[in-house]
Amino acid sequence: MTITAVERNTLRELAKKQAELAALPIMAAKEALWYDLNDGKSTHPLVTMEFHGVESEIYPPLTCENPLARALEGQMAGQIFKYLNFKDDRVIPAYVSVLIDNWHQPFAYSANVYRPKTEDGSAGIGHMFAHVVEDFEKDFNIFKPSIFEVDTGMAKAKEAKAQAEDILGDILPVRLACPPFWYCPTHILITMMGMETLFCSLYDYPDLFHQMMRQLTDSYHSYMDALEKGGALLPTNDGTPIPMDTYCYTRELPKDPSKPAKMTDLWGYTNFQETVGMSVSMFDEFFFSYTLEIANRCGLYSYGCCEPVHSLWEPCLSRMKNLRKVSISPWCDEEYIGEAIRGKKIVYHRKPFPNFISVDEVFDEEAFLKHMERSVKAARGCPLEVTFRDICTVRGEPQRLTRAVELTRQAFERWWQN
């Protein structure tokens, strides 16, 4: 599918606006703060707003249909819209990124997902999976060898980069970007069997479950080996997103983009939010022990999503020597984690409770400010990052998002101590 003249013009206009914002002096100052934060310095806390609800409630619709054009449009339009409307601490980069399209598909399985329709006919947020594993032992044949694809020599990415440069190169530089390494085994397992079967299988078939996890983790090792051998990696050390809605800024990973990278040059990411309710000893045996193998091959690592991590800190996470960022969800013991990671160069990545914005009929600013006060006090002395996510609706009041950022900054001003 060719990129039309209309799509080309759309991209060029967005690039001009992004270049204008990227040139603002505040962007260089914000970028320096992000590098300090991810390098373990408690220079100043930062806040970003991510809305993951029904997009039509907030974001203007994308117009490009060509896959590359749509990806570029989404990248530029999203950054510009969020910065102008939420006024948070994101950096508008002075370049456009084209991702290296490497992928790994666990067990060669594609999830069957059912989603309801919204009033305008688009897919809703709520969904359920059609599980294919009912009895772990009887259905073990479903766990087929994983498959993956490596963009050897970054050939496909370089071709896409050349296309993007032809459209935008005279306005903004175009860079290749390598996503952080993602290892989240329970995500695919839940789509295949659901929570009940997963938990019961650990008890009923422990040896077989270890066999499955060994098979899966070995496939990731093979994938990592192939990425390195195929010259399909670049260091992750700039504004490239990490799946927990944060960024890869760091001075501690290599900077030379002219040389293919190794896994030790990459930032990695893991979460196990589906294991909430499992004993720590079972989690350690069946999941975390395998995670350490993957984490130890990466340069820096981020951990967590919605799961409370305080119970995992001492027996598990404290053993992760390259851990740089840990997610502090609404269900986490904030004070415990603040005390545990203080002085360890680990970012206290706070995710505020989304119900203030999504559920409450009236946005209770006083209650929200107290909520943030507790977080800021708990994180004193730690590199502190606040990211709003898991917000499913704004109840017809998009200004709640901007106001939440403003109130968070008030909390920083009143109670922050580096």
Q: What is the pLDDT of residue 256?
A: 74
H or E stretch at 158: helix 155-168
Length of the chain (residues)? 418
Asked if residue 263 lies in contact with residue 252, where contact means CB atoms within 8 angstroms, the answer is: no
Q: What is the pLDDT of residue 273?
A: 94
Q: What is the pLDDT of residue 383?
A: 98
Q: What is the pLDDT of residue 370?
A: 97
State how beta strands 241-242 and 300-303 pair. Answer: unpaired
Residue 392, SS3 per DSSP = coil
* Residue at 304: amino acid letter: G
DSSP character at residue 108: G
Q: What is the pLDDT of residue 418?
A: 82
Q: Is 342 exposed, middle or buried (0-12, 13-18, 19+ CB in 10 A)?
A: middle
Q: What is the pLDDT of residue 316?
A: 98
Residue 344, SS3 per DSSP = coil
Q: Which domain holds residue 291?
A: 5-415
In angstroms, rounded to a whole number, what is the distance separating the alpha carbons of residues 329 and 307? Answer: 7
| Cβ-based neighbour number of residue 211 at 10 Å | 13
| Cβ-based neighbour number of residue 281 at 10 Å | 10
Q: What is the pLDDT of residue 121?
A: 73
Beta-bridge partner residues of 27: none
Nearest to 108 by CA among 215, 195, 208, 232: 215
In angstroms, rounded to a whole number, what is the distance separating the alpha carbons of residues 391 and 374? Answer: 20
Asked if residue 28 lies in contact with residue 34, where contact means CB atoms within 8 angstroms, the answer is: no
In angstroms, rounded to a whole number, what is the distance separating the alpha carbons of residues 298 and 342? Answer: 23
* Strand boundaries in 245-332, DSSP class E: 246-247, 267-270, 300-303, 323-328
Quickly tell me which residue has 């609800």 as its tokens.
53
Report the domain count for the chain.
Answer: 1
In angstroms, rounded to a whole number, what is the distance separating the alpha carbons of residues 393 and 405? Answer: 16
* Residue at 11: amino acid letter: L
Q: What is the pLDDT of residue 9?
A: 98
Asked if residue 181 lies in contact with residue 269, where contact means CB atoms within 8 angstroms, the answer is: yes
H or E stretch at 149: strand 147-149
Q: What is the pLDDT of residue 139?
A: 98
Distance of CA 278 to the CA centre of its chain: 24
Q: What is the pLDDT of residue 55?
A: 83
Asked if residue 23 lies in contact with residue 94, where contact means CB atoms within 8 angstroms, the answer is: yes
In this prediction, the residues of the chain whose per-residue pLDDT falls under 70 are 257
Q: What is the pLDDT of residue 134?
A: 96
| Cβ-based neighbour number of residue 91 at 10 Å | 24
Structure token digits, residue 397: 């009041």
Q: What is the pLDDT of residue 412?
A: 97
Q: What is the pLDDT of residue 115?
A: 83
Task: Give the domain CATH number at 88.
Answer: 3.20.20.210
